[in-house]
A and B are shown apart, each in its own frame.
Chain A
Amino acid sequence: MITLKNLEKVYQTDEIETVALSNINLEIAKGEFLSIMGPSGCGKSTLLNMIGLLDKPTNGMVEIEKNIIDGWRDKRLAQFRNQKLGFIFQSFHLINDLQVVDNVELPLLYRKGISGKERRKRALEAIEKVGLSTRAKHYPAQLSGGQKQRVAIARAIIGQPDIILADEPTGNLDSKMGNDIMEILEKLNKQEKATIIMVTHDERLANKTNRIIHLFDGKQVN
């Protein structure tokens, strides 16, 4: 489903060249739940950003569902992200001015042919899936960290993407909340057959996934 070939990312300033990723080769199957682990600064998030098409590799190839992502223009990339990918971030990245339901609706705003009524219906369904039906009209500031992350998950799944990319989704949560979030992700993987790629520091959580990839200094070590 996802193929990375000789992936490399180099950050270049006037004086310094930093190799963030080097020679990454990876095959991820449909429906797989994969963890990426490694110490801070080893390139985990950078790799996730490459897979999520949020950043461009310096060299190498990203192929998703037989689409080689190369030289795509902004509009095509945006459409692809909107339809195929869902994101969950460590710091939630909710829009504080919007209610939970409006935050969750957001991906569908950029998808053509979905009425406001339909968006609202699907947002409420997604919120229900993460167990936050009673908080739909709340604002992010009124929620706990765990609840915020559930909103972020609802937002990631509302568009029914094939791939969910989670960047340390439990990093800002205590262990109980972390476990709750992990349970939701496992459920999505098993019941909805979503392919999930998760960056984590937590070996305990990583062990619950199908496969673990280790990175060190931008290189794949296993």
Chain B
Amino acid sequence: MIKNYLKITWKVLMRNKLFTFISLFGISFTLIILIVAASFFDYFTKSNYPAKKLDRISFISNVRIWDEQTGKNSYNNYIGGSPSYYLLDNYARTLETPLKVSINSNFVTSVNSYINAQKLELKIRHTDDEFWNVLDFKFIAGRPYNKNEVEDAQQVAVISESVAKTIFNESQDAIGKQVEMDKINYTIIGIVKDVPFTSQYAYGNVWVPITTTKNDLSVKKLDGGYSAILLAKKRGDLPKIESEFQAALKKIDFPFNGMNFIDCHAESVLEDFIRFSPVNKKTFSILLSAVIFILLFIPSLNLISMNTTRISERLSEIGIRKSFGATKIALTGQFLTENIVLTILGGVIAFIFSFIVLKFFQPTGIIPSEGFPLNFRIFFTGLFFCFLFGFISGVLPAYRMSRLQIVESLKGGEL
């Protein structure tokens, strides 16, 4: 039966090539958008270089604090930003559940460096030594800085491969050389593979010990330009880490610098993004579903209309099949098979074009030069969308067709 369905499907697709082309174009275009969007979503939320253990990582990168006058219920009058070094050092680094905790500057500092009369814009991130343990940087040469070097505020630096090549032509030559940044001479001790700027928690092209910052790390305040990366022993520990962190925050002796309330969490990139976006988690999910629905629904509507036309041309066939014993279910199955095959064909085309589109993004630095984000997860997500798309656009015409009276079909009546 399936072989026959497929045989008919092939014949039908080949019969009206213009219809097939228009259908495939519509399906492919929609799926390209969905696949590229899914790839980016996947890239931002799943393990990728340099955070290969992202499923075991929590971030503390945002904090909101309220003063006595406004109170916590007034969401309009809070001080928001990233946590202070003091807050993270005392309330995150001291947690027992995480395997490792790293504190680093939440944003990169842009500085101009002049090397061989050449101006170079460097993006510096200040980190501790655990930064190299919680993330998985690929060292092309040299090594990361260690605990002693951080504690002693030694002027050592790890630079990205592209910076090394820009300054020294051959990246290997950079090790042991000096580079002046912000009027301080740093010795290059390591070179790592470039980090895409979308990896906001790790991005930079120069990494130096956090203790070399000009900021005073000992200031007792709650907000102030830092973030923490917490690596759990296992994925299941992440909620426990958040609970422990919340318990630790309760120990803050309020009022603290005139502030009375704090809202700060150890959570995943996505949770963090949702929490501090203008919408809440539920609204975000609804909006995301609505966007996917619209993206699927509009072309589905178009395909439904085209399918109805196509089925109308085959009313006699429907009548004959019913006359000779086809049930409504069997006919619905056949038309759905045709549509799903069509959408899967569209899916294959979409995958090829998505590959090209994503390749286009690579030189922009949004995604890394290796570790292409079209993976099995995306492939199966795409496959699921193909089935969904094929089903949605095929089921209504197939249902209407199956309800048609045999005599009407044979006479070429209206669907």
Stretch at the interface among A23-31, A102-110, A127-135: A102-110
CA gap between A127 and B407 in the complex, in Å: 26
Interface size class of A (residues with CB under 8 A): 20 to 34
Interface residue? B11 (CB, 8 A) = yes
- CB–CB A155/B324 < 8 A: yes
Given the known interface contacts A55-B405, A55-B407, A109-B4, the answer about A93 and B316 at a Cβ–Cβ threshold of 8 Å is yes
Stretch at the interface among A75-83, A185-193, A194-202, A210-218: A75-83
Residues of chain A within 8 A (CB-CB) of B1 are: 109
Complex: chain B residue closest to A119, CB-CB: B4
Contact of B328 among A74, A79, A97, A106 (CB under 8 A): A74
Which listed residue (A55, A79, A95, A102) contacts B325, Cβ 8 A? A79
Q: List 9 A-B contacts (CB under 8 A).
A: A54-B406, A75-B329, A78-B322, A83-B325, A93-B410, A106-B320, A106-B321, A107-B325, A109-B4
Report how far A107 CA is from B317 CA in the complex, Å. Answer: 12
Taking a contact as CB atoms under 8 Å apart, the answer to whether A98 and B328 are in contact is: no
Chain B residue with the shortest CB-CB distance to A49: B407
What separation, in Å, do the CA atoms of A75 and B327 have in the docked complex? 6
Task: Evaluate contact between B15 and A81: CB separation under 8 angstroms.
Answer: no
Instruction: Tell me the bound Cα distance from A111 to B321 in angstroms.
Output: 12
Complex Cα distance, B15 from A83, in Å, reads: 32
Q: Contact flags (1/0) for A63-95 with B, using CB distance below 8 Å?
A: 000000000001100110111000101000101
B330 interface residue, CB < 8 Å from A?
Answer: yes
Among residues of B, the one whose C-beta sits closest to the C-beta of A87 is B323
Residue A38 CB within 8 A of the other chain: no
B 1-19 to A, binary, CB cutoff 8 A, 1 in contact else 0: 1011001100110010000
Contacts of A81 on B, CB cut-off 8 Å? Answer: 323-325
Cβ of A116 to closest chain B Cβ, rounded Å: 7
User: How far is the CB of B43 from the nearest CB of chain A, in Å?
Assistant: 44
Residues of B within 8 A of A78 (CB): 322, 325-327, 330
Residue of B nearest to A94 (CB): B320
| Complex Cα–Cα for A87 and B330 (A) | 20
Q: Is A95 a contact partner of B320 (Cβ separation < 8 A)? A: yes
Flag if B320 contacts A74 (CB, 8 Å): no
A52 within 8 A of B: yes
A98 touches B8 (CB 8 A): yes
Known pairs A55-B405, A93-B319, A109-B1; A87 contacts B324 (CB<8 A): yes
Interface digits, B370-395 against A, CB 8 Å rule (1 contact, 0 not)? 00000000000000000000000000
Q: Report the Cα distance A112→B330, complex, angstroms.
A: 12
A93-B316, A93-B319 are known contacts. Are A82 and B7 too (CB-CB below 8 A)?
A: no
Kindly identify which residue among B3, B8, B320, B329 contacts A97, using a CB–CB cutoff of 8 Å. Answer: B8
